[in-house]
Amino acid sequence: MSELSVNHLLGIKDLNSQDIQLIFETADHFKEVINRPIKKVPSLRDITIANLFFENSTRTKLSFELAEKRLSADVINFSASQSSVKKGETLIDTVNNILSMKVDMVVMRHPNPGASVFLSQHVNASIINAGDGAHEHPTQALLDSYSIRERFDTVKGKNVVIVGDILHSRVALSNIFALQLQGANVMVCGPRTLLPKYIDKLGVKVETNLKKALQWCDVANMLRVQNERMDMTYFPSTREYTQQYGVNSALLNSLDKEIVIMHPGPINRGVEITSDVADSKQAIILDQVQNGVAIRMAVIYLLASKIKH
């Protein structure tokens, strides 16, 4: 087994296709481990990991914490809402204080884009980006690609459309990089106001008609409408968004093929996706969640193996 080319996981942009391949192969082994009667291995007994969440998260935080515990690492958790950040401490001070308690690795989510890159330049620990503003969310993109690979055996040559709020989405950007690196064709689809200018410069197709986009694709990744990041009105009403860009079973049945539906969660049921679609066999949303633990175990394991005593 070779090594990752990076010492931190800050974004998919820093990875190459061999790295992704290595992460997937390692995740295969961990997926077998987490389906055993006893789901734990002792590899990271001597590693301490701090989970720093400066922004709310349920799935990602639980998934990282579970991955760390399945690898037997020691875990400390930190949420900005209950900390001295409120008293005015800077990011570097906060992290350095935590690191002086002998922490080897930091998993961080932060509302500002580039926060994890900044941190990796200023502190002495392995950094995993668990989402930084509207920039990247690398582990989500990895688990999305991994789920596609699991369903189709390969990502190469598949047509994937990312639907919804591309403008505010770190998941979209990381997914575009990850899918292109593996040779998939990527399309983004959404209202013009939620598609960033110059997005076509990334080499993705742009479509504003959902039906056409679904007809083209093998996989549709439905993004959540991020109301909390919207500082103005991007579409007239939620009802109108649902009519134009919501996926329902009538729309799926009108296609001449069966496509796979993904969603990074949390789902706004009845907005971007109806309940019957979310719970149907076409949706692999819960597989994504299960794969998330295996992918994060692989990333943590591979980065930890690069920390020297």
Partner 1 sequence: MSQKLLLNAKEINIILHRLACQLIEKHNDFSDTVLIGIQPRGKFLANRLAQLLKSDYHIEHVKLGLLDITFFRDDFRRGEKPLEANTTEINFLVEDKNIVFIDDVLYTGRSIRAALTAIQSFGRPNEIELLTLIDRRFSRHLPIQPDYRGRQVDAINEEKVKVNWVEHGGEDAVYLVNS
Query: Should residue 6 be labelled a site residue for partner 1 when binding is judged by CB under 8 A?
Result: no
Window 49-88: contact mask with partner 1 (x via CB under 8 A): ----------------------x-----------------
- 60 labeled binding residue: yes
User: CB of 31: closest distance to partner 1 in angstroms?
Assistant: 11
Nearer to partner 1, 3 or 276 (CB): 3
Single residue of 9, 43, 120, 234 touching partner 1 by CB under 8 A: 43
Query: CB 44 → partner 1: shortest distance, Å?
Result: 8
What's the CA gap between 191 and 85, in Å, rounded? 37
Q: Say whether 149 counts as a known binding-site residue.
A: no
CA–CA dist 45, 183 (Å, integer): 37
Reference 127, options 135, 118, 84, 43; nearest CA is 118
Query: Does 38 sit near partner 1 (CB under 8 A)?
Result: yes
Q: Measured between alpha carbons, how far is 178 from 137 in angstroms, rounded to an integer?
A: 11
Q: Choose between 40 and 211: whose C-beta lies nearer to partner 1.
A: 40
Q: Which is nearer to partner 1, 34 or 202 (CB)?
A: 34
Helices (H), the chain: 17-33, 59-70, 91-99, 115-122, 138-152, 170-181, 210-216, 238-245, 249-253, 275-278, 285-304
d(CA 118, CA 92): 9
CB-CB neighbours of 16 under 10 Å: 12
Q: How many residues does the chain have?
A: 309
**Starting from the edge strand earliest in sequence, which strands make up the sheet with 105-110, in order?**
74-79, 48-53, 105-110, 126-132
Contact assessment for residue 299 and residue 20, using Cβ atoms and an 8 Å cutoff = no
| Interacting positions 262-301 with partner 1 (CB under 8 A) | 301
To the question of whether residue 109 is assigned a binding role by annotation, the answer is: yes
101 binds partner 1 (CB under 8 A): no
Q: Which is nearer to partner 1, 38 or 232 (CB)?
A: 38
CA-CA-CA-CA torsion for 59, 65, 67, 69, nearest 10 degrees? Answer: -150
Question: Annotated binding residue at 87?
Answer: yes
- Residue from 57, 96, 244, 305 touching partner 1 (CB under 8 A): that is 305
Establish if 33 lies at the interface with partner 1 (CB under 8 A). Answer: yes
170 is in an annotated binding site: yes
Known binding-site residue numbers: 59-60, 87, 109, 137, 140, 170, 224, 265-266
Q: List residues near partner 1 by CB under 8 A.
A: 1-3, 26, 29, 32-33, 36-44, 46, 71, 301-302, 304-305, 307-309
